[in-house]
Amino acid sequence: MELPRRTRGDELLKPGELLGVRHRLRNIARQHDLTTVIAYAFDHRTRMLPFIYADMRMAPAGVRAIGSALLDCGFNKTRIVLQQWNRNFRPSQMRLDGRIPDLFLVSSMQIHSAQCEALIRDACRIDPVNRPLIIAGGPKTIYEPWGVFSADPLDPWGADVAVTGEEYVLLSLLEVLLSIRSSDESMRKTFIRARNSGMLDGIPGLVYALTDSDGVAQELVDTGIQRLVGDLDELPHPVLGYQLLEPPSRRTTLGAQALPPNRVRSYSPIGSLVLTFGCKFNCPYCPIPAYNQRQHRVKSGARIASEMVRLQREYGLRYFFGADDNFFNDEKRTLEIVETLAKTRSDNSRKRHRFRWGTEVTVHDTLKLQQHLPTVRKAGVRALWLGVEDMTATFVKKGQSVNNTTESFRLLQENGICPMPMMMHHDTQPLVSRGPKPYGLLNQARLMRKAGACSLQVLMMTPATGSKLYTGAFTSGIVYESVAGRRVESYMLDANYVVASEHKQPWKKQLNILAAYLYFYNPLRFLYGLVRPVSKMYLADSGMQLIGMWGLAQTFRRTIGWAFRLMRGNIHHKTAIPASRIPMRSADGPAPASHALPGTPQAGLVQLGVNSMAAAGAD
């Protein structure tokens, strides 16, 4: 089930609204000496292909964006802790500026939910009087905000509020809280006052719990779908967030200082940057178009150039990854960006900049933009990830075909850009096929390699939260609950594990993924690549082979046991959609909450009791 769409014409913030809240907060920030810790939840069990290197060496843009927004508004006592680098970090022991922070923010993807919960639980160990206001956000809460609140009355823990949106939602929340906060009041206490008086209900993009006096969540109130910032130039500059990174360590506590600028590059040599958001396609397994309210949001070329130049100057960053859903989505906007970057200089010399970057595009749009690929290359693009899924479009159709795919790869290679295909393996796809059409997974891997693919991503078709196919996959009973006695856990939902299938021998699917990777990444290909690289960029090919072999070893180690379990059988299927067990309602009244999935208990009956508790000051 997709996120509901806001009323047409009301999907975006008005121009200048994000700038406005930033400006207003800057004026009041100095009256509130706030300290904030932002943690990125990361489950190390997810370390394998296809993103084995990028997962650790690219500080995530989401937490950096939130950090940048806080710093930009004047909250300079902010620190970003990445569990990738600080796996022992314990929120209950954190101190910043010598004190327990006022705000503890957690960001998580769905696959890192277990760590997200552990972080929140640990923060809840801080005694209620000193406890920071706990705010959860990121791709997990965007689709499943209830997941950060305990549904077990005997085991209460939970965030105070889940943000189902972006910077603007958080800043609006802070603006409301700071407008009523007295100087010596804790942010959590202020939050409870604001919540109980209904002051948060006018900020779309929040889900908060109404709790009883023991802190047990009785119902979740959903303020609806956020309005999105349309002009991404209004976002705070990403250069700010890099100042806030906690240095990697094995400690449970925080260091005295953030990572110095001259060491950022050694830990995070790739800078992920927001360039555009949204995609015009409508693939039923993808949540992205609905999340973006079918809007395409972009930064200007000038702004992107300024971001890259400053990041290079201040941190020495030269490699970037665009957090785009489909960078080539809109020809005019794409050209504006690449033409500007192609002319950009990093310094006063006459030489063009030396940034190198990559991002995601589609086969369809690559062909459409073929005559502009030389400019794309001049802009610094050296690798493009393409969602090929299945070249024969047997299962997934979005304008790709065998000829289109090979042609787009050829064009990219001709222009010195590495094509990086992303494939989706599905129940009806064999490992190898005979005949004129290359249905088989290996047939396609072979064709793509021949056409110049520098890397390969093979993921199993798995229901994604927020996609059209999501709920149907559960009601039709294809999603596994457990296999041979082992439960499917959230870290296994990364599409590397076969956790949803109608295949009679699903272990074959698991082994097929390994076989495709082994076919693509192996010592022979590495050696061959040294002599006759597939790419014009000589070392790119052998470098990718080395990373691929390392990633394959991890993928094998982590998923082979699952393949054996699948062989043993005893597969139990889920019958219900994973919905909130805590009743939910919309802030407008007992109407269904925007983020509630079918099967969520409807709040309303308990509403009166809880509201009166809330009014009496319970938290």
Burial letters 480-495, b for 16+ CB under 10 A, else e? beebeeeebebbbbbb
Which of 25, 73, 111, 290 contacts ligand B12 by CB under 6 A?
111
Measuring CA to CA, which residue among 583, 612, 577 is closest to residue 209?
A: 583
Classified as helix, coil or strand, 52 is coil
**Touching ligand B12, residues 284-323 (CB under 6 A):** 287-288, 323
Is 219 near ligand SF4 (CB under 6 A)?
no
Neighbouring CB atoms inside 10 A of 244's CB total 25
User: What's the alpha-carbon Rg for the chain, to the nearest Å?
Assistant: 24
Which of 464, 540, 593, 613 contacts ligand B12 by CB under 6 A?
464
**Touching ligand B12, residues 211-240 (CB under 6 A):** none
Q: Which burial class, exposed, middle or buried, applies to 398 when counting CB atoms under 10 A from its CB (0-12, 13-18, 19+)?
A: middle
Report the C-alpha gap between 240 and 69 in whole angstroms: 8
Which of 105, 178, 499, 582 contacts ligand B12 by CB under 6 A?
105
Which range, of 90-98, 399-407, 459-467, 591-599, touches ligand B12 by CB under 6 A?
459-467
Report the C-alpha gap between 247 and 254 in whole angstroms: 9
DSSP-H helix ranges across 415-454: 441-450
What's the closest the beta carbon of residue 469 comes to ligand B12, in angstroms?
Answer: 12
Classified as helix, coil or strand, 82 is strand
DSSP letters, 444-495, are HHHHHHHTT-S--EEEE--PPTTSTTHHHHHHTT-BEEEETTEEPPGGGTTT
DSSP letter for 435, please.
S
Measuring CA to CA, which residue among 140, 137, 77 is closest to residue 112?
A: 140
Which range, of 6-14, 166-174, 283-291, 511-519, touches ligand SF4 by CB under 6 A?
283-291
Which range, of 103-111, 281-289, 307-315, 518-526, touches ligand SF4 by CB under 6 A?
281-289
Is 420 near ligand SF4 (CB under 6 A)?
no
Classified as helix, coil or strand, 298 is strand
Q: Which residue type is seen at 195?
A: R
Is 288 near ligand SF4 (CB under 6 A)?
yes
Q: Which is nearer to ligand SF4, 115 or 359 (CB)?
A: 359
The interface mask with ligand B12, positions 44-63, x = CB under 6 A, is: --x---xx--xx--x-xxxx
Which range, of 14-22, 73-81, 106-114, 194-202, touches ligand B12 by CB under 6 A?
106-114
- Cβ atoms of 124 and 158 closer than 8 Å: yes
Residue position matching structure tokens 């190390």: 44
Q: Which is nearer to ligand SF4, 143 or 208 (CB)?
A: 143
- Cβ atoms of 381 and 355 closer than 8 Å: no
Q: Which residues contact 349 (CB under 8 A, 6 or more apart)?
A: none
**Touching ligand B12, residues 494-513 (CB under 6 A):** 494-495
Q: Which is nearer to ligand SF4, 216 or 361 (CB)?
A: 361
Phi/psi for 245 (5° steps) reads -70, 135
- Cβ atoms of 185 and 83 closer than 8 Å: no
Which of 41, 63, 279, 454 contacts ligand SF4 by CB under 6 A?
279
CA-CA-CA-CA torsion sign (326, 331, 333, 338): positive
Which range, of 13-21, 99-107, 220-228, 279-287, touches ligand SF4 by CB under 6 A?
279-287
Which of 398, 446, 573, 581 contacts ligand SF4 by CB under 6 A?
398
Is 281 near ligand SF4 (CB under 6 A)?
yes
What's the closest the beta carbon of residue 110 comes to ligand B12, in angstroms?
Answer: 3
Q: Which is nearer to ligand SF4, 144 or 325 (CB)?
A: 325
Binding site for ligand SF4 (CB under 6 A): 279, 281-283, 286, 288-289, 325-326, 362, 387, 398
Q: Which residues bind ligand B12 (CB under 6 A)?
A: 46, 50-51, 54-55, 58, 60-63, 65-66, 105, 107, 109-111, 135-140, 142-143, 163, 166-167, 170, 272, 274, 277, 287-288, 323, 325, 459, 464-465, 494-495
